[in-house]
Amino acid sequence: MPRLLHTGQVIVDLVMAVERLPASGGDVLAQSAGFEAGGGFNVMAAAARNGLPVVYLGRHGQGRFGDLARAAMQGEGIQMSLEPGRGADTGLCVALTEASAERTFISHIGAEGELSAEDLARVRVEAGDYLYVSGYSLLQECKARALLDWLLALPRSIPLMFDPGPLAGSVDSPLMAALLPRIDIWSSNRAEALQLTGTSQIAQALAQLESWLSPAALLVLRDGPRGCWVSRQGQAVQVPGFKVEAVDSNGAGDAHAGVLVAGLAAGLEPLMAARRANAAAAIAVTRRGPATAPGSAEVDALLARG
């Protein structure tokens, strides 16, 4: 059975809802606050809730945040390939969500920022597995080189899904230049794609990305409430979204990515997998918190309502 092997970072989010962000030096009262597992956990939870077994390949620390992250993964049935690390706790992200549903992050990297060749050598990759790589991983000096060497040594038949995230470096960096031709599934939002390609239109961004990736690569660009764009070999299709009342966009892109890869692993055609991913993201934005992806039954229900 296919599995998702997630090479990113699980951290803990301190989630706070505010009317709006204060000016520098200012102060506001939050309507709510709480600690939740976040980061790479969001994608893994979305995939697991939609029928795809998941293995987390990253590190997790010792301490209150590491305990919280492990409990959350165990609760979703996510396997962990490594034991808790020593000497550092899992990292923390302050996630501020405004009344407009826009979110702002401030992150501190912990134990999950390191990964060695020895850690990865313990991983058994099987035919049918899907690999998930986050752009955040390329920012970690204690992780990026070992991860990239391991990825490039794996059989080309193992699909690799990449989400650059908002902090991904330039495509001119040696790490990105080496990774781009290996990517089979590109998953990002509109703003990330436009920024990375230096373009101003979706069509231009898709064309530029296709020139960097392998000829058969599948591109999925999330476009907020408008849904997403799916493109392969120059054939781009817009898959419409669902009209909902958004309260929190935190984790919506992760819900989309997790449900997308679950659909692809189940054998769905890309457009149907993208349609399911759009439905999952639409449900996720109606809920507060980072890991708000629905299960497959809820996705089916929204699809049935059209």
- 136 falls within a domain: yes
- 257 falls within a domain: yes
| Rounded Cα gap, residues 184 and 270, in angstroms | 12
Q: Does pLDDT of 167 surpass 90?
A: no
Q: Please state the pTM of the whole predicted model.
A: 0.93
Q: Does pLDDT of 245 surpass 80?
A: yes
* Phi, psi for residue 233 in degrees, rounded to 5: 55, 45
| Rounded Cα gap, residues 75 and 264, in angstroms | 24
Could you give the number of structural domains in the chain?
A: 1
Closest CA to 197 of 211, 183, 185, 184: 211
Question: Over the chain, what is the mean pLDDT?
Answer: 94
- pLDDT value of position 86: 85
85 against 228, higher pLDDT: 228
Residues with Cβ within 8 Å of residue 301, at least 6 apart in sequence = none
- 278 falls within a domain: yes
Tokens of 205: 């961004």
Pair type for strands 235-239 and 160-163: unpaired
- 144 falls within a domain: yes
Domain that holds residue 231: 3-9+38-59+114-304
- 83 falls within a domain: no
> Is residue 235 within 8 Å of residue 249, measured between CB atoms?
no
- 27 falls within a domain: no
Closest CA to 130 of 223, 51, 73, 71: 51
Q: Is 63 left (phi over 0), alpha (psi -120 to 50) or beta?
A: left
Read off the amino acid at residue 36.
Answer: E
- 77 falls within a domain: no
CATH of residue 298's domain is: 3.40.1190.20
Helices 64-75 & 40-49, crossing angle to 10 degrees?
20
Tokens of 57: 């390949």
Q: What is the 3-state secondary structure (H, E, C) of 195-221?
A: HHHCCCCHHHHHHHHHHHCCCCCEEEE
- 239 falls within a domain: yes
pLDDT in tens, 87-145: 899 999 998 989 988 889 899 999 999 999 999 999 999 999 999 999 989 888 889 99
